[in-house]
C-alpha cells in the first residue's frame, strides 16, 4: 500500500529541535543555532521552536542575568539560525533557482499555515489528542507549581524556568492552531521531554528527607487556590470533551502534592502510582483493546482483490494510491485530502493556491471536471475509503449509478441503463449480469438475473424499466471470504 510508505519528516525536524535545546543548556549557542536552522529547513513548523527558544532565552536573561554576555549569546544563536537557512538557500538557489527555493521554504509554508478549512475539526482533533495522551497534555499546567514551591537548595531552578517557558511557548502556538492533527503532537516531544524531566527532578528534590522546601510569592492559601484552579480547569476539560471519568484521577496528583507541602505527609508512593497508571498503564490498555481491530487483515484482503481485478485490465479510484505500480486516472483521486475535497465543494482562489504539487496535490478540479473524467476513463471499480465518503453528493450519486457493491469495500462497474430505446456504451468486454428488468439488447431479449456476454463499445437497448448491467470478473483466484463481504470503509486505510 503506497500510502503507508509516505515519509513524514516532522519528527526528524523536532529531533533537531531537541538537540538544539540540549546544546543551549550547555551554552553552545552556535551549534544550537545551526541545528535549529536545520530543523526549520526540514519542516517550517520548527518556527514554533525558534519562537520558544528565544522566549525561554530572553525570559531567563530578564529573570537571572541581564548581562551583555548572555544577550550576545542570544544574538549569536539567532545569527547562526539565519546563516544556516541562508547557506541552504544560496546552495540550492545556485543549483536550481532562487525563486523555486524561496517559494518552497517560505511561501508554500505560509500558504498552508493560513488554510482555514480544518478549523471546523479542531475540537475533534483535540478530543483525539486528549483521549490518547491524558497525562502528557493535562498535567502540563501543573508544572507551573514548581516556580512557587521550591526546595531549599534549588540548583536547577533556572533550567526549570527555561523549560516551562519553552514548553509554554510551544503550547501557546498549538492551542490556536487549526491544523492540530493528532499526529502533529510529535511537535511536543522535545518540549515535554524536558518539561517533565524538570518536573520529576523537582518532585524528587522536595521529597528528599535532607531537603526542606519553601514557598515563594504565595502562602499555603495561595497554593490551595492554585490547586483548586487546576482541578476546576481539569474538570471543565474532561466534561467539555466528554473524556472518560477515569481521567479525573489526574486530580489526585495536585491534591497529594498539596497534602505533602502543607501537612508534610509523605505521599510520594501514591503520586507515583497515579503517574504510572495515567501515564503508562491506562493508555497502554487502550491500545491493547484497540489493536485487535487494527490487524490489517481486511486491508490486506482488499489490496489483494484490488490487484487481481486490475490484472484483468481497467483502472480504479480510491482517494489515495493503494497500488504502487498503478496510477489512478483521475488526478484528484490520488491524494484526496481535505483541501481538494473542500475545493470540490466550495471552489476558491485561496484554496487553489494552497493545493501544492510539492505535497502531491493535483491541480484544482471542480465536481463537473471529475464527473467528465470519470465518464471518459476506464475505471472498472472503486475502492470505498473514508476519503471517498467525503466526496460531494453529486459525485457520489454518479458513482452509485455506475457501480455496485461487489465484495468488501470494492464496487464494480455496473452502469444503470434508463428505460426506453437508446444506444448505450459499454466500457469493458466481458460477462454481465442483467439486474432489474427484461431488456432487449442488440435485438435479443434477456431476462432478469441472466448472464450475457457484451463487447466493449456501443449497443442498442430497449427496456420498459431501468436496469443494471453488472460486470462479472473472471479468473479471481482469491477466496472471497464471507467475513469480509460487508463494506468496512474505515478499515481500508487507518
**Residue range 99-108: mean pLDDT, rounded:** 87
Residue 370 grid cell:
471529475
Report how far Cα 402 is from the mean position of its chain's Cα atoms: 32
SS3 letters for 159-209? HHHHHHHHHHHHHHHHCCCCCCCHHHHHHHHHHHHHHHHHHHHHHHHHHCC
Which candidate, 465, 467, 462, places its Cα nearest to that of 449? 467
Question: Hey, which residues does 454 pair with through a beta bridge?
Answer: 430
Mean pLDDT, range 162-179, rounded to an integer: 90
What is residue 324's predicted lDDT score, i.e. its pLDDT? Answer: 83
Cell of 203: 518532585
pLDDT tens by residue, 58-94: 999 999 888 898 899 999 999 999 999 999 999 999 9
Q: List the one residue out of 459, 437, 456 whose CA is nearest residue 446.
A: 437
CA 478, CA 42: separation in Å to the nearest integer? 43
| 199/135 Cα distance (integer angstroms) | 13
DSSP string, 53-109: HHHHHHHHIIIII--HHHHHHHHHHHHHHHHHHHHHHHHHHHHS-HHHHHIIIIIHH
Supply the pLDDT for residue 241: 93
pLDDT tens, position by position, 417-462: 999 999 999 999 999 999 999 999 998 999 999 999 999 999 999 9
Q: What is the 8-class DSSP label of residue 418? A: P
Maximum CA extent, the chain = 101
DSSP code per residue over 244-295:
-GGGGGGGHHHHHHHHHHHH----HHHHHHHHHIIIIIHHHHHHHHHGGGG-
Secondary structure (3-state) at 41 = helix
CA 461 to chain centre: 49
- Round the average pLDDT of the chain to a whole number and report it: 89
- Using CA atoms, how far residue 417 sits from 155, 379, 393, 395, 434, in Å, is 81, 17, 20, 18, 10
* Structure confidence at residue 6 (pLDDT): 59
Mean pLDDT of 91-111: 88
Q: What mean pLDDT do residues 150-158 have?
A: 86
* Residue pLDDT, tens place only, 256-305: 999 988 888 888 899 999 999 988 888 888 888 877 777 788 898 999 99
Contact indicator for 39, 48 with CB cutoff of 8 Å: no
Nearest partner of 374 among 355, 352, 400, judged by Cα? 400
Amino acid at each position: 500500500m503506497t500510502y503507508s510508505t509516505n515519509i513524514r519528516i516532522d519528527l526528524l525536524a523536532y529531533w533537531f529541535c531537541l538537540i538544539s535545546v540540549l546544546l543551549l543548556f550547555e551554552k553552545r549557542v552556535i551549534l544550537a543555532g545551526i541545528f535549529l536552522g536545520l530543523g526549520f529547513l526540514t519542516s517550517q513548523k520548527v518556527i514554533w521552536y525558534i519562537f520558544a527558544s528565544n522566549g525561554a532565552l530572553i525570559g531567563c536573561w530578564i529573570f537571572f542575568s541581564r548581562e551583555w554576555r548572555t544577550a550576545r549569546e542570544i544574538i549569536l544563536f539567532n545569527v547562526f539560525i539565519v546563516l544556516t537557512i541562508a547557506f541552504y538557500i544560496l546552495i540550492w538557489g545556485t543549483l536550481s533557482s532562487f525563486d523555486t527555493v524561496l517559494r518552497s521554504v517560505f511561501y508554500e509554508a505560509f500558504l498552508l499555515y493560513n488554510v482555514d478549512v480544518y478549523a471546523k475539526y479542531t475540537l475533534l482533533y483535540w478530543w483525539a489528542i486528549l483521549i490518547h495522551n491524558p497525562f502528557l497534555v493535562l498535567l502540563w499546567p501543573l508544572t507551573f507549581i514548581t516556580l512557587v514551591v521550591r526546595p531549599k537548595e534549588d540548583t536547577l531552578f533556572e533550567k526549570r524556568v527555561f523549560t516551562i517557558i519553552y514548553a509554554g511557548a510551544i503550547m501557546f502556538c498549538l492551542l490556536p492552531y487549526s491544523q492540530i492533527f493528532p499526529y502533529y503532537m510529535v511537535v511536543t516531544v522535545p518540549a515535554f521531554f524536558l518539561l517533565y524531566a524538570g518536573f520529576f527532578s523537582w518532585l524528587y528534590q522536595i521529597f528528599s528527607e535532607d531537603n526542606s522546601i519553601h514557598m515563594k510569592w504565595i502562602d499555603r492559601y495561595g497554593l490551595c487556590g492554585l490547586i483548586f484552579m487546576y482541578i476546576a480547569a481539569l474538570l471543565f476539560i474532561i466534561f467539555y470533551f466528554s473524556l472518560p471519568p477515569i481521567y479525573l484521577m489526574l486530580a489526585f496528583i495536585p491534591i497529594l502534592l498539596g497534602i505533602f507541602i502543607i501537612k508534610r505527609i509523605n505521599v510520594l508512593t501514591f503520586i507515583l502510582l497515579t503517574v504510572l497508571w495515567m501515564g503508562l498503564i491506562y493508555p497502554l490498555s487502550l491500545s491493547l483493546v484497540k489493536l485487535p481491530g487494527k490487524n490489517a487483515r481486511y486491508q490486506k484482503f482488499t489490496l489483494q482483490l484490488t490487484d487481481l481485478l486490475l490484472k484483468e485490465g481497467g483502472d480504479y479510484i480510491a482517494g489515495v494510491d493503494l497500488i504502487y505500480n498503478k496510477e489512478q486516472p483521475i488526478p484528484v483521486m490520488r491524494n484526496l485530502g481535505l483541501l481538494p475535497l473542500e475545493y470540490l465543494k466550495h471552489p476558491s482562489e485561496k484554496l487553489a493556491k494552497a493545493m501544492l504539487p510539492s505535497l502531491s496535490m493535483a491541480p484544482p478540479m471542480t465536481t463537473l471536471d471529475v464527473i467528465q473524467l470519470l465518464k471518459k476513463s476506464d475505471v472498472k471499480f472503486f475502492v470505498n475509503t473514508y476519503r471517498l465518503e467525503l466526496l460531494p453528493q453529486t459525485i457520489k450519486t454518479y458513482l452509485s449509478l455506475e457501480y455496485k457493491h461487489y465484495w468488501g469495500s470494492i464496487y464494480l462497474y455496473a452502469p444503470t441503463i434508463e428505460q426506453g430505446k437508446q444506444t448505450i456504451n459499454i466500457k469493458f468486454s466481458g460477462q454481465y449480469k442483467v439486474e432489474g428488468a427484461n431488456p432487449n439488447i442488440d435485438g435479443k431479449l434477456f431476462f432478469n438475473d441472466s448472464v450475457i456476454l457484451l463487447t466493449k463499445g456501443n449497443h442498442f437497448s430497449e427496456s420498459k424499466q431501468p436496469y443494471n448491467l453488472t460486470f462479472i470478473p473472471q479468473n479471481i483466484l482469491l477466496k472471497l471470504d464471507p467475513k469480509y463481504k460487508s463494506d468496512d470503509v474505515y478499515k481500508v486505510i487507518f
